[in-house]
Amino acid sequence: MQTAYRFKLIPNVHQAETMVSWLGMLRGMVNYNLADRIDIGLTH
């Protein structure tokens, strides 16, 4: 029984550039929130 689906993305150039910019933005958000959690842990 298959319980998951796999999709192969083949984006065009514009879509690939958009996804790369999203990854950069998401990486920044994750790092910011991680730093915030570390700072909160150190102050309490």
pTM above 0.75, yes or no: no
| Block residue for tokens 């910019």 | 21
- Distance between CA atoms of residues 18 and 9, nearest Å: 13
End-to-end CA distance of the chain: 48
| Block residue for tokens 């309490």 | 44
* pLDDT tier, 3 (very low <50, low <70, confident <90, very high otherwise): confident
- Distance between CA atoms of residues 19 and 9, nearest Å: 11
E strand residue ranges, 1-44: none
- pLDDT > 70: what percent of the chain? 95
CA distances to 4, 5, 11 from 8, in Å: 13, 10, 10
